[in-house]
A = this chain, B = another copy of it.
């Protein structure tokens, strides 16, 4: 029995609020239960130096937790003077995941930056970020089309992500914090609309895991991601 009363496969209620703030070209508040992440997509002309003159665009992401998004306050990275390893790792993952579903030539020499700021954390912030960022990215691309900045839609397909894990020997989907802190294995999976994988990151927290456990986790994730992509599409409809 899970703390929330959910079944093993059941994800938390997911809410996607578009146009959450007014300045960003795409602005999405995504909620997975008590986890709340604001995903703002900003469009800028030009590309980083390594891409100049190649006629391609760039998509990148930054991630941060507000200091009191968590149970106890964590030091603000801006005042510590550097981003921690966990932050850098997560924002690299978000950026990579989004780039896979964009046709960079169709985007032209524009950069889209997705800022994922965690307002409240209760497990699964990185996968909620990817799922929300994809919707914000779609809104930003639609804004660009309305402005005539792109001619064809650079989006190849939607992408979403889920965290799954082994808890008391059983695979479960969409772990909340209290589950995550006890899980033996934690796996973050990013998948496309077409059901293919962009990222699989599985980590044994306590005991190492078997091939069969891995496969049951992956199967569970596929199912949840299909649900998430439906929710994204409804939000965009």
Contact = CB atoms under 8 A, between A and B. Distances in A.
Contacts of A27: 68
Nearest to A198: B204
A115 interface: yes
Contacts of A44: 73
Contacts of A64: 76, 78
Contact of A23 (B69, B79, B115, B201): B69
Interface in A158-204: 187, 191-192, 194, 196-204
A183 to B, nearest CB: 14
A96 interface: yes
Contacts of A22: 34, 120
- The size bracket of the interface on A is 35 or more
B73 A78 contact: no
A87 B117 CA distance: 18
A119 B29 CA distance: 11
Contacts of A222: 211
Contacts of A77: 78
A85 B88 contact: yes
A69 B21 contact: yes
A23 B84 CA distance: 22
**This chain's copy number in the assembly:** 6
B78 A203 contact: no
Interface in A208-229: 208-211, 214-215, 218, 222
Nearest to A210: B196
A100 interface: yes
Interface in A59-79: 62, 64, 66-73, 76-79
Contacts of A81: 81-82
Interface centre among A62, A71, A73, A207 (most CB of B within 10 A): A73
B62 A40 contact: no
Which 4 A-B pairs rank lowest in CB-CB distance, beginning with the nearest? A196-B208, A85-B88, A77-B78, A42-B73
Interface of A: 21-24, 27, 34, 36, 38, 40, 42, 44, 62, 64, 66-73, 76-79, 81-89, 91-92, 96, 100, 113, 115, 117, 119-121, 187, 191-192, 194, 196-204, 207-211, 214-215, 218, 222
